Structure 1
Amino acid sequence: MVSVCTTCKGLQKHLQALDTGIPDTHSAQRLHWVNTTLPGLRRSTHGGCRACATLLQGILLHHDRFAGEQEDHIRISAESFIGPGAPSDRDAQNHLSVEVRWKDPGGECGNGDEHEHDDGYPDLKLEFFTDGDRQSPFSAIGRGRHISENALHDSGLSTARHMINDCLSRHSRCRRAKPSTLPRRVLDVLLEDGTRGVRLHESTFDYDEDRYEFGEYLTLSHCWGTGRNVLKTTAKSLHSNRKHIPWSTLPKTFQDAVSLTRALGFRWLWIDSLCIVQDDAEEKLEASTHMDDIFANSFLTIAATSAADTTDGLFLPKTQPFKIQATDSAGSLHRIYVREQPPHYTFKASFNEGAHMNDWELPLNPSAEANRHTPLLRRAWAYAERLISPRVLHFTKSEMILECREGYQCECGRIEDSTFDPRATDCVKQDYAKLIAEQEARSPVTNGINNRIDSVASQLAATTLADDDQGMSRTRDDAINLWSYIITEYSSRNLTLDADRLVAIIGVAKTLSDTLRSGYIAGQWTSNLLGLLWHPDDTSPCRRPRNLSQNVPSWSWASIEGSPIYFDNSTAMDLACTASFPSERGRTRAWSPISGDALELTASMATDVAFRVDGENEYSLVKDGISVEFRPDISPPQGQDSLASGDFLVCVLVSMTFRSSIIGLVLKQSKSNAQTYRRVGRFECYECLRDSTDQEPEDAEALFGHWFPEVEDMTQLDDGPQRTFIVV
């Protein structure tokens, strides 16, 4: 009688019982095979188990990933899947999934391994599979999903078309409601002169219809890199580019994008460096303010997601699966492939997808490894382009990924199937598209920013405009929360030029303006001024932007570079603080997207306090012997934000939060004009401390009695004395 391996059951399905649970016809069911350590797998291999030997060989081919780790700390598990597709289904997942873990979820890798993974997700996840319909000596190892080497090859092109067609056929939000119009300039990639080159096409403008000519086109999203290798249209080259741009002058990424556009059957392609005259500052700004039109009307955005420079190309070499040989009971040889499961990079993270977005950990923190492999996803411009585009075809080092307004598709088929990748998917693009679709369903879009604004002065603690339509009110709440999430993600990404800080996000703001029905000044929605309570996640790397031609006021989140920006969009109690924009008076829907002026802040609870340095990057605000911790926007304070112990500041209390804290703004009087103030930080008090005593700290609410003893009734704040500050 032949004994069955107790470690892996020989990887034979007839020897392993199906994991019990509620049947789900829409997802695969699991068969669990292995739960052991690396030394345990070695012992089973030495004991003669051919299946364990196959697993061990495939794992050791990736030994560089866990070199230096203690082998008895390396745990190995394996599982395969049954269904939901039939065995002949091209999308059926019949591979064996092997997870290798060596990192303590609560600690660090023992050897400082740079391969970082989310908590709960394995440090290494491998797929064992056969090629096509070839037989395997182990029934737990079935065929794998093909990943194309190059999207221009037959299989790659077929996969790309399949994903696009699937999006068009199933997703109503991704379909175009009306014919698209071309941007001002596009590349004509189908020249009839026998050359492989392209030319710059000037679109015909119809003044009666106020639009350019109709046409379907693609867009390219790419990293410029250092900028030295980027082919550009300038005033000098504009005329010649209209006639012909030789193929040899196009960098590799542009060549690949042109080839893909042709292969998909399109004539027009928009590439920023070639379709915008790069030495014309006025045209560049004008084009930047219409990025929403350019990318929203594009049929498809081609994303060079893993290319750090335009010379890299779209179709980067993919790591090929390892090939190992396994023998069956008759001694016949079979080929088994082993590869690391495509990581899905920064599209996946460990957060509760079902939770409200305010409870998410922001920004979506990718690993350093993902950042290296997907440099485009770290760019702020590309982030805005991703949101606005109806669909984006990402070219990564592992596979093609299609991101659209209703979800994701990938070549490996795992990205949105929790069976294979339980991490939640980044869904901000889908939430953004859903919000816009809901607004368009309520009322047709009409000239965005020129619509009516309900009020020019708003309660700082009010989260929505007054509106009898509760559904619309909830939509505006969602829009503000989504905007805050977007800015947190956007501000965590890189910009080459400080001057683009507000420019690159204009397109997103324009698409939300009809939902919010609000003025928009320097990144701030005037109808929801809780946005003024932004704060940097980490103040130590922060600085004010340099060499700005526009006026970015200190009250704007865009006035701080170097850290993701967070927001407070809800409050438990309003402390009677109001704000208004003088520049908005007499105007409807003020629209000043890249600059701003003064803000008038009127407060019932504002007081002078002393700034104190308590230690390295430790600060507090003190009044009448009562101190509270304070974190300035820039730490240590410098430049226009410079502060020294004993300097007097103004602390303006705004509201109490559901965190049982008091929040507000901290202002510094301008040296050049005593009538104006600059923001130097956001104030949040959880507890206050009486200096030079051993008393326990008191909770935040005690601060009212210490700093504002004259206020006897908090419900009467609106009727008491107020102070007004002009913040620039």
Structure 2
Amino acid sequence: MTRLEDEAQAVSSDNCLSSHAPCIPSVSPEIRRLVCEPCWRTVFSADSFHTAWVAQFVSTSPESAGFSYTTPAWEEMQHSIDLMCEWCDLVCEEIEFYYHHKTKTKEAPPADSTFQLRVRFRQESGNIADGSIITLQLVVENSWPPVYLIHTAADDQAARFIHHREVLLHVDSTLGYDLIKKCVGDCLRHERCPPPLRTLLPTRVIDCANPELPCLFVNQGIEDNYVALSYAWGEKQPHCTTTINLDSYIAGIPLQNIPKTIMDAIKVTQKLGLRFLWVDALCILQDSDDDKAQEIAQMRRIFRDAYVTIIAACAHKVSNGFLHRRSTWHPTASTLPFRCPDGGIGTMQLRGGQYAPKEPVNERAWCLEERVLSPRRVIYASHTLQYECQTTHINVNGAPNFIEPFDGIPRLPDRIFLPTPAIPNSDLPADEDVAKAWRDILNLYTQRTLTKPRDRLVALSGIVEQFHRFWSHTTYIAGLWEHQLPGCLLWYQSSGSQCCTRPDRYRAPSWSWASTDGEVTMTSCSNQGVLCTIIQCDVIVAREMNPYGEVTAGSLVLDTILQPAVWDPVEGELFDAAGVPTDPLEWPELTRSDSERGEIGYVVRDAIETVSERIGKVRLALVSNTGNALLGLVLIPVTSQTSSAEQNDCPSFRRVGWFTAPFCDKSAWLSSSYQHIKII
């Protein structure tokens, strides 16, 4: 029998909760004052509460389970709120929300109105240590019920039946460090999680054996466990390791040179019983481009092999630190009586299922790579301390509140963490779960910011290398995967009116999302319905040691159908442009009145630039036929073509947008001749 089934059996035989109960448990004045007399006689009476509690064990018609009653009049409940009735306060908030939605007004319910409520406890699945949580649902007039998460104090009578606690606020405590160790120990038993292994240390690490005098340790082939730190710089760090101070830092790093976030990480490393810590600012020579490139190329291994990664999620800048005591999260929980199945009376705290607060670290592009590459993450969030691995994402003390962040971080598929020989070597395009993980990560990554925009490809290179271990049969080309071409060319900017200007400095060919700033959506990498063929695709990487990083040039040759069109970038509309001169150099600029030949679709521009600010003629390269619309790339001619391109009669273009054409003459377009074009 499960724990909850045991409780259900105990409840069913409990005389104290039956209608013939001979015993009446004593109630402390503090608990009794939590609710008004009408609430105490209804919802919080022994029989009523029992009916609501056992609803969690009902498997048939669960929507009708629980305790149902009619509220007092609205005016009476408002008076009870003035007398500090926690239940009336909670109920009225939900009734008001229901009433506003029903009446489409912002007025309060009439003073004499009453409402039908149903109260029930439910079991909910979640990323909690024991696999599920108990929640309370409050159904107003058969509407969709809000869900409240429940916890109680460890020394409360209700703690025997409510196993979840308030989130841990004192993160820098013996309890906090013990809970981290327990989470890592539990992780060792997770089938989905790779075990931590003693592995080759990174090139340099901080030796934390003496936290009063930490020093740089230069590895000479030693294997050991180490901790990695992921954090937001947020400001300049004047005392980074350089070629000038390297030798002195090996002897010892002055404490006054170490920012608070890094000092806190040194403390956590030592408290966990570990000696070595990797931090980019101190373990990479910040004045050496060669050393930076070499260490960035090792980023996947550094975070993948870390015993744990500390994520200083709450710190806006490196001088903030992350071990401060957390404040109680608002809104505060509602404290209510809890009728224990054994007849005792304790208290429970109810909170709505709010998401965790957004964290500063989640705005930084580099930090996404560091998080998803790490098999075990200790997250110092704004409100508590959390642990995350391939299996679970929990508050370290098992509290149910604020677990999943609003912008949930996608996990890499489990198989990507397998040892290389165990990863399947397939000629198939990709398993869908891996392809979806790539799209999700790309979308989330492009929402984040970079201090140096030229790092658009570099800051993702560690994740790319990890994916390449699974997609070993293919080639990564400036942000796209060869086996997903040409379908993956159909990315588009998803930030709408917040579209960014075209970067001044070259970062990638125009057909790559990395050539733009802002959030990118890649809805599918499928090649179903494709209308074009890749003839050639080449890029030149800036550094051979990092084939997944920065590129200096690239080109793509397509065999496709090219159609002329008129684009109004202000409205995003696309119009037919039959009769456009074949020579791009002869395209005259159009006026708005010239585009009155019928709308055929719309365009999402890649960036704010001259061509995307006024109406004009463009070329459409067809990529895919969905059945409902033709999709493809919006191109403009590049006048300075290479001599080889001219000799091969292969005109050059630059991508400026993505289009869909559901209203075009599809049969006429698809019967047009194919030609080779070059996109740079």
- TM-score over 0.5 (shorter chain): yes
Q: Distance in 2 between matches of 1:495 and 1:76?
A: 50
Q: Secondary structure at the match of 1:687?
A: coil
Shift in Å at residue 381 of structure 1? 1.0
Q: How does 1:51-450 map to 2 (within 5 A)?
A: 53-56=85-88, 72=109, 79-80=120-121, 97=136, 122=146, 125=148, 127=150, 130-135=152-157, 144-176=164-196, 179-191=198-210, 196-204=212-220, 212-225=221-234, 227-228=235-236, 231-320=239-328, 336=347, 338=349, 340=351, 343-345=354-356, 370-371=357-358, 374-411=359-396, 413=398, 426=408, 428-429=410-411, 431-437=412-418, 440-442=421-423
State the distance in 2 between where 1:237 and 1:400 align.
35
Secondary structure of the residue aligned to 1:672 is coil
- Can you give the 5+ residue segments of structure 2 that lack an aligned partner in the other structure? 1-18, 20-36, 99-104, 580-596, 643-650
User: Aligned to 1:628, what secondary structure does the other structure show?
Assistant: strand
Q: Which residue type is aligned with residue 593 of structure 1? A: G
**Distance in 1, Cα, partners of 2:572 & 2:191:** 51
The percent identity for this pair of structures is: 22
State the Cα deviation string for residues 647-673 of structure 1 (Å, max 9, x = none): 3x2211122126x22112222111333
- Counterpart of 1:361? none
1:698 aligned partner = none
| Structure 1 residues 607-645: Cα deviation after superposition (integer angstroms, max 9, x where no partner) | 3x143427545454533545422314246x514x45643
CA contact (8 A) 1:221 1:382 kept: yes
Larger of the two Rg values belongs to structure? 2
2: CA distance, partners of 1:15 / 1:337: 17
- 1:477 Cα deviation from its structure 2 partner: 4.8
SS at match of 2:199: coil
- TM-score w.r.t. the length of structure 1 is 0.69
Name 1:521's counterpart in structure 2: 477
Q: After superposition, where does 1:660-699 map in structure 2 within 5 Å?
A: 660-673=628-641, 675-688=651-664
Deviation, structure 1 residue 704: 3.0
CA contact (8 A) 2:355 2:403 kept: no
2:674 corresponds to 1:722: yes
Cα contact 1:611–1:644 (8 A) shared by 2: no
Matched to 2:218, the amino acid is E
**Which moved further from structure 2: 494-503 or 472-481?**
472-481
In the alignment, is the contact (CA less than 8 A) between 1:621 and 1:627 conserved in 2? yes
Gaps of 5+ in 1: 106-119, 205-211, 346-369, 444-468, 689-701, 712-720
TM-score normalised according to structure 2 size: 0.74
The C-alpha deviation readout for 1:545-602, integer Å capped at 9, x for no partner, is 6354x64111111111122332432254232433422459xxx999453215343333
Q: Name the count of aligned residue pairs.
A: 594
Q: Return the offset for 1:507.
A: 0.5
Residue 563 (str. 1) matches residue 529 (str. 2): no
Q: 2 CA distance for matches of 1:263 and 1:29?
A: 48
Are 2:555 and 1:599 equivalent residues in the alignment?
yes
> Are the counterparts in 2 of residues 198 and 245 from structure 1 also a CA contact under 8 Å?
yes
Residue 308 to residue 655, structure 1, CA distance change in 2 (3 Å): same
User: Structure 1 residues 617, 164: CA separation in 2 closer, same or farther (over 3 Å shift)?
Assistant: same
Match of 1:656 among 617, 622, 625: 625
Partner Cα distance (1:638, 1:524) in 2: 24
Check conservation: 2:633, 2:657, Cα contact below 8 A.
yes
Q: Is the Cα–Cα contact under 8 Å of residues 384 and 508 in structure 1 kept in the other structure?
A: yes
Shift of 1:503: 0.3
Q: Equivalent residue for 1:703?
A: 666
Structure 2 CA distance, aligned partners of 1:583 and 1:323?
Answer: 56
**Cα distance, 1:524–1:579 mapped onto 2, change above 3 Å:** farther
CA distance in structure 1 between the partners assigned to 2:407 and 2:232 by the alignment: 24
- With a CA cutoff of 8 Å and minimum separation of 6, indicate the structure with the bigger relative contact order: 2
Question: Could you report, residue by residue, the CA deviation over 1:160-185 in whole angstroms, capped at 9, with x for unpaired residues?
Answer: 11111111122353214x53111111
Q: Which residue of 2 aligns with 1:455?
A: none
Q: Is the 8 A contact 1:323 1:337 kept in 2?
A: no
Give the Cα separation in 2 of the matches to 1:401 and 1:170.
17
8 Å contact kept, 1:11–1:33:
no
The 2-side partners of 1:75 and 1:621 are apart by 59
Q: Determine the C-alpha separation between the residues in 2 that align with 1:164 and 1:661.
A: 51
Distance 1:303 1:621, change over 3 A: farther
- Shift of the alpha carbon at 1:7? 5.1
Task: Tell me how far apart the structure 2 counterparts of residues 654 and 563 of structure 1 sit (CA, whole Å).
Answer: 22
TM-fit CA distance, 1:305: 1.2
Structure 2 letter corresponding to 1:133 = D
Aligned residue for 2:413, secondary structure, equals helix
Q: Relative to 1, partners in 2 of residues 1:15 and 1:566: Cα closer, same or farther, differing over 3 Å?
A: closer
Query: SS at 1:631's partner residue?
Result: strand
Partner Cα separation in structure 1 for residue 537 and residue 336 of structure 2 = 73
- Over 3 Å counting, the alpha-carbon distance change for 1:93 and 1:336 in structure 2 is farther
Q: Contact 2:539/2:551 (CA < 8 Å) preserved in 1?
A: no
Select 2:55's aligned residue among 9, 16, 19: 19
Q: Please give the alpha-carbon distance, in whole angstroms, between the structure 1 residues aligned to 2:264 and 2:519.
A: 35
What displacement does 1:527 show? Answer: 2.7
Partner of 1:465: none
- Secondary structure class of the residue paired with 2:553: coil
Which string of whole-angstrom CA distances, capped at 9 and with x for unpartnered residues, describes residues 431-455 of structure 1? Answer: 4233453974246xxxxxxxxxxxx
Measured in 2, the distance between the counterparts of 1:121 and 1:377 equals 31
Distance 1:619 1:54, change over 3 A: same
Give the Cα separation in 2 of the matches to 1:558 and 1:326: 53
Q: Deviations over 1:327-366 (max 9, x none)?
A: 999xxx9985746467453xxxxxxxxxxxxxxxxxxxxx
Offset, 1:543 = 3.2
Contact 1:81 1:93 in 2 (8 A): no
Instruction: Describe the shift of the 1:272–1:70 C-alpha distance in structure 2 as closer, same or farther (beyond 3 A).
Output: farther
What is the rounded CA distance, in whole Å, between the counterparts of 1:151 and 1:551 in structure 2?
Answer: 42
Deviation at 1:510, TM superposition (A): 0.8
Whole-angstrom CA distance in 1 between matches of 2:385 and 2:318: 18
Structure 1 letter corresponding to 2:383: S
Where 1:623 maps in the other structure, the secondary structure is coil
Q: Distance in 2 between matches of 1:590 and 1:184?
A: 17
Q: What's the CA shift string for 1:520-546, capped at 9, x where partnerless?
A: 221122232122121111343333563
| In 2: Cα distance, 1:97 partner to 1:626 partner | 56
Question: Residue deviations 1:266-304, cap 9 Å, x none?
Answer: 000011111112222232222222110110110100011
Contact 2:423 2:470 in 1 (8 A): no
Per-residue CA deviations over 1:78-113 (Å, capped at 9, x if unaligned) read 6446899xxxx9969998747799xxx9xxxxxxxx
For residues 631 and 230 of structure 1, do their structure 2 counterparts lie closer, same or farther at Cα, with a shift above 3 Å needed? farther
- Cα distance, 1:245 vs structure 2: 1.7
SS at match of 2:85: helix
Q: Could you tell me whether the CA contact under 8 Å between 1:544 and 1:559 is conserved in 2?
A: no
Distance 1:34 1:46 in 2: 22
Q: Name the CA shift for 1:48/1:669 in 2 (closer, same or farther; >3 Å).
A: closer
One-letter amino acid of the structure 1 residue matched with residue 624 of structure 2: S
Q: Separation in 2 of the partners of 1:617 and 1:276? A: 46
Alpha-carbon contact 1:30-1:79 (below 8 Å) kept: no
Closer/same/farther in 2, CA of residues 82 and 486 from structure 1, 3 Å limit: closer
Structure 1 partner of 2:445? 490
Residue number in structure 1 paired with 2:494:
537
- Structure 1 residue 478 displacement after superposition: 4.2
1:383 Cα deviation after fit: 0.9
Does the Cα contact within 8 Å between 2:164 and 2:398 map onto a contact in 1?
no
* Matched letter for residue 502 of structure 1: L
